[in-house]
Structure 1
Amino acid sequence: MRIEFHGAAGGEVTGSCHLIEAAGKRILFDCGMVQGGREADARNAEPFAFAPASIDALVISHAHIDHIGRVPLLVKRGFKGPIYAQAATCDLFPIMLLDAASLSEHNAERTNREHASGQPEVAPLYTAADVIAAQAQLHPLPYEADTDILPGVTLRLHEAGHILGSAMLELRADSRSVLFTGDLGMRGTPILRDPAPAPRTDLILMESTYGDRNHKDRAATVAELGQILAAARADGGNVVIPAFAVGRSQELLYWFAEHFEDWNLAPWTIFLDSPMAAKVMAVYDHHEELFDADAAKVWQGRIKPFKLPNLRVSAGVEDSKAINRIHGGAIVIAGSGMANGGRVRHHLANNLAFARNHVIFVGYQAAGTLGRLLVNGVKQVRLFGEEITVRARIHTVGGLSAHADQQGLLEWYGDSPSHPPVALAHGENPAREALVAMLKQRFGITVTLSQPGMRLEV
C-alpha cells in the first residue's frame, strides 16, 4: 500500500486530496478546493497531478468544500468510478456543490462582462450539470460497517465528530491498513457524537490544523459568547458572525436555544442569511439518529434551535439586502466562514466601519482570507471596490472550533492501539511541526510531514 499526497500537504490546510494505491487499485481520499490567497482560483483550475480516469474509487471524509470542492471537476475531466461517503455527507453533497457551481458561474459571467472585447471568455470551474453528474456516482454508507469497495479493498467509516456525516476513513488491502482522520472534531462538540477511537492500523494520516495550540475551555467560550452579545446590545449595534453553512451555523443556533433566556436574546432579531444553511438544517432534521444524547434533549425542549421565536431565515437576495438597512439589534449569521466569499462580505462592508458593531469569528481562518486579515487586526480592508476603515470590534472565539486542538489530537492518538506511525497533513507548518515534537516526545513514534507529490509506503 502506498500514499501520494496531492493536497493539504506541505504546510497547507485546504485542498484535501490523497491518493492510495493498494491491491492494484487507485483510491482517492477527498478532492477538495484550495481556499485563501490570490492564486486559489487558478490553482483549483489546474490539471490534477494524476489522470482522473485512472482513479478507481473516490472516498469523501465530509462535506466541507475544502474536502469535496473539486469533485465535479474530477468527474468532468474523466473520473467515472464510485464515490463513497457517509449517508449524511451524501445528502449535504449537492447542497454544498450546487452553491459552489453557482458562485463559479456567476464569477465567470462577471469577469466576461468586465473583459475588454477580444479577450477569450472565462469558463466556470464547473456547472450545476457537472454537480448532478457527480451526484449520480454517490454511494451512501453507514458508520462502523465493512464495505468491499473494490476487489481486495475494504472500507470502514468511523465517526469523526467534526460536522454531520464526517468520517474517519479506514482502508484495508494487501494485509495492510491506513486510517485517514479527515478533520477530527473536539470531544463534547454540541449536536455531534464524539470522535470514535482509532482502530488498529499500520499508519494514521492525521490532520494538524491546531497542532500548536489549545482551545479555550468550551464552557468558558460559551460564556464569552454571551458576554460579547451583552456588550453588543449595550453598544446598540449589530453582530456579524461569519459561519460555515454546515456545522458552525447549526451549533450557534444550538447555543442560542440553550441560552435564549439567560442571554436575553428575545430583543434581538437573529438572521440566518444563508439559503444553503437553511437546506442543511433540513438534513440535520433528517439525521437525528446521528445526534448525541444532549442534542436529543435540546431538540425536545421548549425552544428549539432551528425554530427560535426571533429567527429569520433569508430566502432571497432582497431579504439579504434588507438586513443591511438595520443599524442595530441584528445578529447576522452568514457564510462564508472565512469571509472569503458569500453574503457575509456584504454585511461586513456595511458594518465594519462603525464602532458600535461587533464581528465574531468562530472558526479557523486560513492564510490569505479576509477573515485572517481581520483577526490579525488589519485597519483597512477593500470590499466591492471601496476602502473601509475597520472600527467594529473584532472577536475570535476559538473554543467553538470544530477541529480538535493539540491536546485533543494527542489524547485521541494516545488511545490508539499500538501507537502506529503518523503522517501529518492539513496544517500550517508551525502547527504541524509543534505536533511532531509532541508526538515524538510523548510516544517515541515515527512522524512524517507530508509534502505535495511525496510517496509513502505503508
Structure 2
Amino acid sequence: MTGRDTRRDVRTLTFLGAASTVTGSKTLLTVDGRRMLVDAGMFQGEKHLRVRNWEPFPVSPSTLDGIVLTHAHLDHCGYLPALVRQGFAGPVWCTADTATLAEIVLRDSAYLQENDAAHAARRGYSRHDPPLPLYTVADVERTLPLLRTVDYDEDVDTGGGVRVRMTRAGHILGSASVTLGWPGGSVLFSGDLGRADHPVLRPREIPPGAPDVVVESTYGDREHPDPEGAAHEQLAEAIRRTVARGGTVLVPAFAVDRTEVVLRALGELRRAGRIPDLPVHVDSPMALAALRVYRRAASRGELRPDLQGDLVDLPHLYEARTVEDSMALNNPRMPCVIISASGMATGGRVVHHLKHLLPDRRNTVVLTGYQAVGTRGRSLADGAQEIKMHGDYVPVRAEVVQVEEFSVHADSSDLLAWLAALDPAPRRVLVNHGEPGSSAALAARIRRELGITAVVPADAEVVDLSRG
C-alpha cells in the first residue's frame, strides 16, 4: 500500500485506526491520486493497540498530501510527530483552537514519553534496552509549523481539487466535524461529537449532508443516565463521604475540556453549599495551559452565553505547577480535591497520585467518563484489587466512583439525532471509533430507525466511495 494510485477514478476510504476500538483515529481518503489523512491519533489502552504506534505506517508518510484534524485529543492528534519523524512534511488543517490546544497536548505527550523512557531505564522495568520514546520534543517542534488554521463554516481549498469545511462539533474547544469535498463528491466525518447541551461550550451545529458519513460510536450502545435528584449529586456525595473520613478525592480528568467541566461543577456545588469549601488542586501542566485557553475563548464567544464572569468560581483553587508542588499532594495536610491528567490514568502525574492514594481507604478516586479497555481507569472501574504502575502492583483500597454525567461524548440518541438532521440524508453511514458492541449497536439502530445503510468497517478495510 506504499505506492500511489494516480488513476482519476479512485476514491476510497481506508480505516487505519479507531476501527473496532476508540483509539488511534486515522482514516485515509484517496481522491484521484491525492491522499488526505483525517486525524492522526495515537493508540492507547491495551498493549496490542499500543504496539501499533511503533509499526511502520501503511503508506509512506511522505506521500500524504495533507492531514485534517477534528480536534486536539491525543487519540486524534497524538501520532502527528511520529508521522513527521517518518517523513511527512505537508499541511495539517484544523481550527485555530485545535491548533492552540494541539501544541499543548503534543509538547506534553513528548515530554512525558521522554521522562517515562528515562524512568524506565533507571528502574530497569522495560523489556527494551534502551527504552525509547515514540517521538521527542524536537519532533513536536518540527510538527507545529505545519499547522494551518481553518475557520468554521468556510470552504478551504487544500489543493488538487479537494476542499475542507469545518463545522462546530461541541465536543471540546475547537472540535469540528469535517467535510472533504471534490468535484462530484464529498464525505463527512463526524469527529467526536458533543452532547446536545455541553456544560461549557457553544452547542454543536449540523454540517451539510454528504453521500457517505463516517460517524463515531463511543457511546453508540447506551444513553447517558439522567442524574437522579440534583445535578452532580453523585460527585457531591463522594466528596462529602471522603471529607468525613479525612481523605483525599482524586479526579483523573482529561486535561482538555474535562478539567474545565469538573471545575465548573465543583464551583456550582460549593455555591449551593452541597460540598464543603475545601482546597481544589489542579495538578497537570497541560490542564493548566488548556484552562488558560478556555478562559481566553470566553472573550471570543466560544463558550456558552449563560456563563457569566470567570469560567471557574472556586476561591481555594490552587495550581500545582512544579514537580515539588505535585509531590506534596501525595500527603495532603487536610481533605482536598486533586484534579490531575490523564483521564484514563494512562500516564502523567495522576499515576503517581494513584500509587500513593489507592492503598488508603480514606481516599476516593472519581472517574469522570468513558474508560477505554486496557487502561488503568477501566481496571479501576471494573473493580480491580490491584493496579500495575511503574513495574509495581499497588493495592486498591480507596473507594472508586464512576460518574458518567461528565462525559461530553454524544450518546446513542444524540448520534442518531445528528444523523437524522443531515440534509441531504446520507446514502451510507460508516460507523467507527467504538468498541465492537457499541459500533454494531449503533449501526443496527441507524438501519432500523433511519432506514439508511450502515456498516462497521474492519481495521484496514478499504471502502469505495464511488459505489453505493
Q: In which range does the TM-score fall when normalised by the shorter chain?
A: over 0.9
Counterpart Cα distance in 2 of 1:174 and 1:230 = 60
1:293 is aligned, of 304, 322, 337, to: 304
Number of residue pairs the alignment of both structures matches: 450
CA distance in 1, matches of 2:295, 2:200: 11
For residues 325 and 355 of structure 1, the distance between their equivalents in structure 2, rounded to whole angstroms, comes to 14
Partner SS for 1:293: coil
**Residue 198 (structure 2) aligns with:** 189
1:383 aligned residue: 389
Deviations 1:360-382 (A, max 9, x none): 11111110111001100112223
| Alignment partners' CA distance in 2, 1:381 and 1:131 | 31
CA distance in 2, matches of 1:196, 1:219: 28
Corresponding residue for residue 436 of structure 2: 429
Q: Which residue does the alignment assign to 1:339?
A: 345
Counterpart among 412, 418, 421 of residue 418 in structure 2:
412
Does the residue aligned with 2:102 lie in a helix, a strand or coil? helix
Alignment correspondent of 1:396: 402
Aligned-residue CA RMSD (Å): 1.9
Q: Residue in 1 aligned with 2:456?
A: 449
1:82 matched to 2:82? The reply is: no
- Which stretch of the first structure deviates more once superposed, 324-333 or 159-168? 324-333
Match of 2:142 in 1: 133
The question of whether the paired residues in 2 share the 8 Å contact of 1:242 and 1:335 is answered with: yes
Change (3 A) 1:387 1:113: closer
Q: Deviations over 1:246-277 (max 9, x none)?
A: 01001111122233221455531101001111
Partner of 1:59: 68
- Is 1:267 aligned to residue 277 of structure 2? yes
The alpha carbon displacement at 1:307 in A equals: 5.8
Query: Which one is further off, 220-229 or 193-202?
Result: 220-229
Note the C-alpha offset of 1:7: 0.4
**TM-fit CA distance, 1:54:** 0.7
| Structure-to-structure mapping, 1:231-250, within 5 angstroms | 231-250=241-260
Deviations 1:122-172 (A, max 9, x none): 432111111111101111111111101113111100011110000101111
SS of residue paired to 1:438? helix
The 1-side partners of 2:113 and 2:153 are apart by: 36
User: C-alpha offsets along residues 319-343 of structure 1, whole Å, 9 cap, x if unaligned?
Assistant: 0010111164110100110011111
Q: Pick the aligned partner of 1:364 from 367, 370, 383.
A: 370
TM-score calculated relative to the size of structure 2 = 0.92
Residue 90 of structure 1 aligns to which amino acid in structure 2?
A
* Partner AA of 2:202 in structure 1: R
Equivalent AA in structure 1 for residue 288 of structure 2: A
Please show how residues 5-404 of structure 1 align to structure 2 within 5 Å: 5-9=15-19, 11-114=20-123, 121-217=130-226, 222-265=232-275, 267-288=277-298, 289-297=300-308, 300=309, 304-306=310-312, 308-326=314-332, 328-404=334-410
219 and 49 in structure 1: CA distance in 2 versus 1, 3 angstrom threshold? farther
- Does the 8 Å contact 1:62/1:89 carry over to 2? yes
Q: Which moved more, 1:183-192 or 1:345-354?
A: 345-354
CA distance in 2, matches of 1:218, 1:165: 27
Q: Distance in 2 between matches of 1:106 and 1:388?
A: 21
- CA spacing shift, 1:408–1:219, aligned 2, 3 Å: farther
- Provide the rounded CA distance (Å) in 2 between the counterparts of 1:43 and 1:224: 37
Contact 1:164–1:290 (Cα < 8 Å) also in 2: no
SS of the equivalent of 1:135 reads helix
Query: Which residue type is aligned with residue 220 of structure 2?
Result: G
How far does residue 113 in structure 1 lie from its aligned partner after superposition?
Answer: 3.8
* In 1: Cα distance, 2:412 partner to 2:86 partner: 38
Look up the SS of the partner of 2:14 in the other structure.
Answer: strand
Offset from partner CA, 1:178-223 (integer Å, 9 cap, x none): 1101101101111112221131211110000011111112685523
CA deviation after TM superposition for structure 1 residue 309, in Å: 1.1
Question: Contact 2:279/2:337 (CA < 8 Å) preserved in 1?
Answer: yes
1:283 CA drift (Å): 1.2
CA contact (8 A) 2:71 2:176 kept: yes
Instruction: Say if 2:202 and 2:305, in contact at 8 Å, map to a contact too.
Output: no
Of the structure 1 ranges 152-161 and 230-239, higher mean CA displacement relative to structure 2 is found in 230-239
Cα pair 1:191 1:295 within 8 Å, conserved: no
Within 2, Cα distance between the matches of 1:263 and 1:244? Answer: 26
Judged with a 3 Å threshold, the aligned counterparts in structure 2 of structure 1 residues 46 and 102 are, in CA distance, closer, same or farther, namely: same
- Give secondary structure in 1 for the equivalent of 2:47: coil
Q: Name the SS for the 1:178 alignment partner.
A: strand
**What is the CA–CA distance in structure 1 between the aligned matches of 2:62 and 2:227, rounded to whole Å?**
45
- Aligned identity (percent) is 38
Secondary structure of 2:359's counterpart equals coil
SS for the counterpart of 1:424 is strand
Q: TM-score, normalised by structure 1?
A: 0.94
Q: Give the distance between the partners of 1:216 and 1:275, measured in 2 at CA.
A: 32
Give the distance between the partners of 1:174 and 1:51, measured in 2 at CA: 26
Q: Given that residues 13 and 428 in structure 1 are in contact (C-alpha distance below 8 angstroms), is that contact kept between their aligned partners in structure 2? A: yes
Q: Quote the Cα distance in structure 2 between the aligned partners of 1:218 and 1:174.
A: 47
Q: Where does the alignment leave 5 or more consecutive residues of structure 2 unmatched?
A: 1-10
- Partner of 1:319, secondary structure, is helix
The verdict on how the C-alpha distance between 1:273 and 1:414 changes in structure 2, with shifts beyond 3 A counting, is same
- Structure 1: runs of 5 or more not aligned: none
Amino acid in structure 2 at the alignment position of 1:424: V
AA aligned to 1:331 is V
Deviations 1:97-134 (A, max 9, x none): 11111112122223444569xx8534321111111111
